[in-house]
Structure 1
Amino acid sequence: MSEIAPDVFSNKDKVQLLLLDCDGVLTDGGVTWSEDGIEQKTFNIRDGLGIKLWQQAGFRVGIVTGRSSHIVRWRSDELGIDFVRQGIGDKVKAVSELLALCHLGWDSVAYVGDDLPDLPVIQRAGFGVAVADACQEVQEASDFTT
């Protein structure tokens, strides 16, 4: 395990809203289809536990994803996720709208992403997180890589 710089969590006390991309963050990044044409994704159960613990601590969580899928809605309903925005082309705009709804600023959001569409949000977020297999640009812009 790599050593974490002491100042990496300096903004953590400001974070009140956790926003996550879905594909490649909450899933393994793969998408499969059944013979009936039904889209399938694999979610990691440990992410669900982390989300529930975050919520139990009194914080809100949301998903902002470029794709649209009934499976994402089902999983987010199961976890009681506060905000779900699917089919989003402009993630900065979508997050800005959520922040306005919550009366929060960019410094109050932690955003977890993996790919180039997440980059502008990670650059603005109070705490940007890249998953371990995120593209290099996202890792370089993030405050922390898992």
Structure 2
Amino acid sequence: MNVRETASRVALMGFDVDGVLTDGSLYFTPGGDEIKAFSSLDGHGLKMLQSAGVEVVIISGRRSRALELRAANLGIRELHMAVEDKRACLGGLLAQRGLDWRAAGYMGDDVVDLPILRACGFSATTADGHDFVKQHVQFVTARSGGRGAAREVCDLILDARGDLERMLADYLD
């Protein structure tokens, strides 16, 4: 099965944060607050996925107030932080919705993401993701994490589902 076929089946798409929705850098203020930078390109892609009926889920191994704010800003209801077993987390969400793994996608960048990436029907990583991860996913973006990589994946899914051209045409009116 090719990448467009698997991408077209995605009903629920999960994203890692550090290294995918951000560039992976961790910034801390002297007071201990964490600062993250998110791409507006990625954010709009996530919103487009949602408007096309694809549920967007964020599953991160870390906890971050900045991430809580970003997810709320994007209208993402399923935010799971400080998750040790991402595969089990997504499996529970799929079971709640009556979906199987073929309808799930995930984008991660490091070896800790491999169990969830290998379980999903569609899997992706960033251009700067770990080389070993690149060997075990269906799609590797041209862009780096936090620099439009998630948008590439969103556009791929939307295009494979037949939604992208129509959605982009709306901006020309």
Out of 66, 85, 88, the residue aligned to residue 93 of structure 1 is 88
Query: Aligned AA for 2:66?
Result: I
Q: TM-score, normalised by structure 1?
A: 0.92
Matched residue count: 141
Question: Residue by residue, what CA displacement relative to the aligned partner does 1:56-89 show, whole Å, maximum 9, x if unpaired?
Answer: 1111100011001111111000001131110011
1-structure distance, mates of 2:98, 2:69 = 27
Q: Which has the higher helix share?
A: 2
Query: Aligned AA for 2:100?
Result: G
Q: Which runs of 5+ in 2 are unaligned?
A: 142-173
Instruction: Tell me what 2:56 maps to.
Output: 61
Q: 1:103, CA displacement in angstroms?
A: 1.4
Instruction: Tell me what 2:27 maps to.
Output: 32
Q: Which sits farther off after the overlay, 11-20 or 46-55?
A: 11-20
1-structure distance, mates of 2:77, 2:103 = 16
SS at match of 1:63: strand
Q: Which runs of 5+ in 1 are unaligned?
A: 1-5
RMSD: 1.2
Structure with the bigger RCO (C-alpha within 8 Å, sep 6+) is: 2
SS at match of 2:13: strand
Q: TM-score, normalised by structure 2?
A: 0.78
2-structure distance, mates of 1:7, 1:95 = 23
2-structure distance, mates of 1:135, 1:45 = 24
Instruction: Tell me what 1:50 maps to.
Output: 45
Superposition pairs of residues 1-146 of structure 1, within 5 angstroms = 7-146=2-141
Instruction: Tell me what 2:150 maps to.
Output: none
Q: 1:12, CA displacement in angstroms?
A: 2.4
Instruction: Tell me what 1:3 maps to.
Output: none
SS at match of 1:10: helix
The percent identity for this pair of structures is 37
2-structure distance, mates of 1:96, 1:133 = 27
4+ long deviations beyond 6 Å: none
